[in-house]
Amino acid sequence: MLLGLTGYFLYCSAGQLRLALELKGRLDQVNAQIAATEKRTAELKQEITYLKSDAYVEKVAREQLGLVKPGEIIFLPAPDRAQK
Protein backbone atom coordinates (compact mmCIF):
# COMPACT_ATOMS: atom_id res chain seq x y z
CA MET A 1 0.00 0.00 0.00
CA LEU A 2 2.81 2.39 0.94
CA LEU A 3 4.60 1.54 -2.30
CA GLY A 4 1.48 2.31 -4.34
CA LEU A 5 0.94 5.60 -2.53
CA THR A 6 4.58 6.56 -3.08
CA GLY A 7 4.29 5.70 -6.78
CA TYR A 8 1.14 7.80 -7.13
CA PHE A 9 2.83 10.72 -5.35
CA LEU A 10 5.84 10.52 -7.68
CA TYR A 11 3.56 10.33 -10.73
CA CYS A 12 1.65 13.45 -9.65
CA SER A 13 4.85 15.28 -8.71
CA ALA A 14 6.41 14.58 -12.11
CA GLY A 15 3.41 16.14 -13.85
CA GLN A 16 3.59 19.19 -11.62
CA LEU A 17 7.33 19.49 -12.21
CA ARG A 18 6.85 19.32 -15.98
CA LEU A 19 4.13 21.98 -15.80
CA ALA A 20 6.33 24.19 -13.61
CA LEU A 21 9.21 23.90 -16.09
CA GLU A 22 6.92 24.78 -19.02
CA LEU A 23 5.57 27.79 -17.16
CA LYS A 24 9.10 28.89 -16.24
CA GLY A 25 10.09 28.75 -19.90
CA ARG A 26 7.05 30.78 -20.90
CA LEU A 27 7.78 33.31 -18.15
CA ASP A 28 11.34 33.69 -19.44
CA GLN A 29 10.00 34.33 -22.95
CA VAL A 30 7.56 36.97 -21.73
CA ASN A 31 10.26 38.67 -19.65
CA ALA A 32 12.53 38.77 -22.71
CA GLN A 33 9.72 40.34 -24.76
CA ILE A 34 9.13 42.91 -22.04
CA ALA A 35 12.84 43.80 -21.95
CA ALA A 36 12.95 44.17 -25.74
CA THR A 37 9.83 46.33 -25.72
CA GLU A 38 11.21 48.55 -22.96
CA LYS A 39 14.46 48.98 -24.90
CA ARG A 40 12.56 49.91 -28.08
CA THR A 41 10.39 52.35 -26.11
CA ALA A 42 13.50 54.07 -24.75
CA GLU A 43 14.97 54.29 -28.26
CA LEU A 44 11.76 55.81 -29.62
CA LYS A 45 11.59 58.35 -26.79
CA GLN A 46 15.16 59.37 -27.58
CA GLU A 47 14.29 59.72 -31.27
CA ILE A 48 11.22 61.83 -30.43
CA THR A 49 13.39 64.12 -28.30
CA TYR A 50 15.82 64.54 -31.22
CA LEU A 51 13.05 65.17 -33.75
CA LYS A 52 11.69 67.95 -31.53
CA SER A 53 15.12 69.57 -31.11
CA ASP A 54 16.25 72.79 -32.74
CA ALA A 55 19.20 70.94 -34.29
CA TYR A 56 16.90 68.61 -36.21
CA VAL A 57 14.60 71.42 -37.33
CA GLU A 58 17.62 73.36 -38.61
CA LYS A 59 18.97 70.29 -40.41
CA VAL A 60 15.66 69.72 -42.22
CA ALA A 61 15.34 73.41 -43.06
CA ARG A 62 18.81 73.47 -44.59
CA GLU A 63 18.90 70.08 -46.34
CA GLN A 64 15.33 69.68 -47.55
CA LEU A 65 14.04 73.23 -47.81
CA GLY A 66 17.27 74.96 -48.84
CA LEU A 67 16.94 77.65 -46.18
CA VAL A 68 19.92 79.62 -44.90
CA LYS A 69 20.58 81.86 -41.93
CA PRO A 70 20.67 85.62 -42.48
CA GLY A 71 24.07 86.66 -43.83
CA GLU A 72 24.99 83.20 -45.16
CA ILE A 73 25.85 82.73 -48.80
CA ILE A 74 24.97 79.59 -50.74
CA PHE A 75 27.58 78.25 -53.13
CA LEU A 76 26.24 75.89 -55.78
CA PRO A 77 28.46 73.79 -58.03
CA ALA A 78 28.65 74.90 -61.64
CA PRO A 79 26.77 72.70 -64.08
CA ASP A 80 28.91 70.06 -65.75
CA ARG A 81 29.64 71.30 -69.27
CA ALA A 82 30.19 67.79 -70.60
CA GLN A 83 26.53 66.96 -70.02
CA LYS A 84 25.25 69.79 -72.28
Domain-located, residue 73 = no
> Measured between alpha carbons, how far is 8 from 17 in angstroms, rounded to an integer?
14
Structurally, how many domains does the chain consist of? 1
The set of residues, in sequence order, having a beta carbon less than 8 Å from that of 67 and lying 6+ positions away, is: 61
- Is position 60 within any domain? yes
Contact call for residues 61 and 67 (beta carbons, < 8 A) = yes
pLDDT per residue as tens, the chain (84 positions): 767 777 777 777 788 888 889 999 999 999 999 999 999 999 999 999 999 999 999 999 999 998 999 999 888 888 887 665
Q: Is the residue at 16 inside a domain? A: no
CA distance 61 to 51: 13
Q: Which domain holds residue 56?
A: 25-64
**Does 18 reside within a domain?**
no
- Considering the domain boundaries, does residue 74 fall inside one? no
CA–CA separation, 15 vs 8, rounded Å? 11
Report the pLDDT value the prediction gives residue 82, as an integer from 0 to 100.
Answer: 67
> What confidence score (pLDDT) does residue 84 get?
53
